[in-house]
Amino acid sequence: MPESQKKQNNNDNPQRPHPMFDWRPIIFTIITFFIYYNAIQDTNKALETVPYSAFKEMVKLDTVSEITLKGKQITGLRTGTTPQGKGKRFISIKPDIDDASLMPLLEKHHVKITAKSSESPIWLRLVLGILPWILVFGFFAYSNRALQSRMGGGGGMFGFSKSKAKLYEKINVHIGFDEVAGLESAKTDLREVIEYLTKPEKFRKLGAKLPRGILLMGPPGTGKTLLAKACAAEAGVPFFSVSGSEFIEMFVGVGASRVRSMFAEAREKAPALIFIDEIDSVGRVRGTGMGGGSDEREQTLNQILAEMDGFATNDPVVVLAATNRPDVLDPALMRPGRFDRKVTLELPQKKARIQILQVHTRKKPIAADVDIEYYAARTIGFSGADLENLVNEAALHAARFNKSSIDHDDFEFAHDKIILGSVGQEVLNETDKKRIAYHEAGHALTAMLSPNSDPLSKITIIPRGRSLGMTESLPSEDRVNFLQDYLEERLCILLGGRGAEKLMLSQVSTGAADDLKQCTRLARQMVTQWGMSEGLGPVNFPQHEEHPFLGMDMAQPKDFSDHTARLIDEEVEKLVKRSEQATDKLLAEHKEELVRLANGLLEHETLEAEDIKKIMALQ
């Protein structure tokens, strides 16, 4: 390893704050010119201006002792008997017409005459001719240097072509694979790359080639950037970190130049790792742009492709890239020889969530009543960043009440705040409060009476965010497949709140709007994607496909007839109405339990799992 890589670099964040533009030299120059100009004006103001005819009269009256001729300008010293005029200097200008009588007149009255050349000295003319250009070029040179300092330095106009990648010669030793919990498969792939960087001979003697690039794919917050830093820390090699958006500027060609600069610097410090975060900002499929910035983006991508393909086989430089949009990346970027490996980082399962929570609570004072496994079970769908935020929100809540440790109540508050938002400030009237209690009791009772549903963990009618209440179920384990019975019961649970309002209060309200939206969407997925419809059978009709990582619906082109579309709508309607009828029947048969649950909510506002069991056990 080069000696420069063995020196410790305590500056883990090499990008210092950019200095502000220094206006002092410009202000100083302006003030200097202002003073010089005023001095000249003051000198001229000190001289008395005399008309040429009056000047000749003064000579005839013997009130002029001496004059100085400089071109057409005449300056002189007055004499005389009056104290007001004696000793005063004056200035006069000769007319364009030559006056032959002036010199005899001056000689007759014994006026001392001094003549000076009207031309300025050569050195002064040179200074006056060159000085403005010196000032102009000096100003641009100073501005260029100042802007380079603000933009990270480097070559090219204003340093635009210099790579903006941050170089970490020595990564913080505390950021290792032990700090990255729940990504065992990804760490296994990266450990092989680390071993190649540290022990390349082991692989070269077998003819194995180092992977040129590794693409980390996954939802936001799953630890892609953290994993890249941990990889660099474990390998102990220089780490170049840059965001894909930092390549793009308004000037065409800047991005490609920055790519060349970054790869050249990485080769100088090899073995090294290059990490490009959010590579989809420059790696999108080519040929979709309309010019301008799109052309610049494509040139940048072309340069990345050329640099990755241009590595020598023994170049120990590996490119790590992260994205949550692998579907938009250019195929040339994804082929073997560029990004040889694709590592998918999924949302953590329960075991991984336990490990992540243990990492984030390791250095915090946690009370004995906090059950990490319980909160790992309640955080299905949370990413690593969400779990870190959960612990941090709990710590903030504990600090707000001056606690010495973070207890169960703090974690409960943090969990509800992340899921539903902050507690609302509005005060509900008794009518609305009663309706919300029956609505949530309807959801809860339907879930309890459904044999395949997840067990209840909490019911609340405290408004949070945009939600006026919540019924939470706690799955016993993470689900990867959903049976048809489970989904049909899920439809009934979603309709339980509306059914309870209709049963107990005679009419429905707008509070079930989100329930109906989720219910209709789930029913349409059952009919069109999962073949759970007797009328249409096991056929897939693509309408909306969910993004592989972001969970967003993406519209798909319609490739079925209008008649089929009507059949789909009819099947969805049948499925929802059948679930509504089953829900109404179930609630009518257990009306007494529904009333007990609603009364318990009106009294306590929040019911935990144990409270629900006690209420349901009453006869």
| Residues annotated catalytic, as ranges | 440
Q: Strand (E) positions, 156-255?
A: 166-168, 213-217, 239-243
404, with CB counted inside 10 A (0-12, 13-18, 19+), is exposed
Evaluate the CA torsion angle 138, 143, 144, 149 in order and state its sign. Answer: positive
Q: Strand (E) positions, 283-350?
A: 317-323, 341-344
Q: Is residue 194 within a helix (H) or strand (E), and if so which, with residue range?
A: helix 184-198
- DSSP state letter for 101: T
Could you write out the three-class secondary structure of 504-517?
Answer: HHCCCCHHHHHHHH
Q: Say if CB 280 and CB 322 are below 8 A apart.
A: no
* Coil, helix or strand at residue 321: strand
Which tokens hold the place of 239?
């780490």
Q: How far is CA 368 from CA 405, 406, 408, in A?
A: 9, 9, 9
Which tokens hold the place of 519?
């219910």
From CA 330, how far away is CA 189, in angstroms rounded?
23
From CA 152, how far away is CA 160, in angstroms rounded?
9
Q: Is residue 519 within a helix (H) or strand (E), and if so which, with residue range?
A: helix 513-528
From CA 406, how far away is CA 576, in angstroms rounded?
44
Q: Say if CB 116 and CB 69 are below 8 A apart.
A: yes
Which tokens hold the place of 424?
């609302």
From CA 164, how far away is CA 556, in angstroms rounded?
39
Q: Strands across the sheet with 64-70, in order?
A: 48-49, 89-93, 73-78, 64-70, 112-116
Peptide bond into 19 cis (omega under 30): no
Rg (CA), the chain: 42
